[in-house]
Amino acid sequence: MPEIAKASYYRELKRELDLRETEAQLLAAAAEKLERESQTVIAEAIRDMWRHNEVARLRLQTQLGALFFC
């Protein structure tokens, strides 16, 4: 992969990873707040969203790591 394309792809992956990390923080905070308010069903649904986000975040980290071995 040419260096310019690699740099562009890196920026795209990094931007998405940063968004996923922010989303994870917001979801965790929302779940904690709902749990404190005894809204456990909604809190569990948000935790499911957080877990899905974590899988996507880990996939992005793997892609970023693999980019350096191309």
pTM, 2 dp: 0.81
Residue predicted with more confidence, 4 or 19 = 19
What is the predicted pLDDT for the residue at 69?
Answer: 79
Is the pLDDT at 70 greater than 70? The verdict is no
Report the candidate in 20, 12, 4 with the shortest Cα–Cα distance to residue 54.
Answer: 20
The number of beta carbons lying within 10 Å of the beta carbon of residue 25 is: 11
What DSSP designation does 38 have? T
Contact assessment for residue 67 and residue 6, using Cβ atoms and an 8 Å cutoff: yes
What is the predicted pLDDT for the residue at 67?
Answer: 84
49: Cβ contacts below 8 Å, ≥ 6 apart: 27
Summarize pLDDT for 51-67 with one digit per residue, the tens. Answer: 999 999 999 999 999 88
Contact assessment for residue 49 and residue 20, using Cβ atoms and an 8 Å cutoff: no
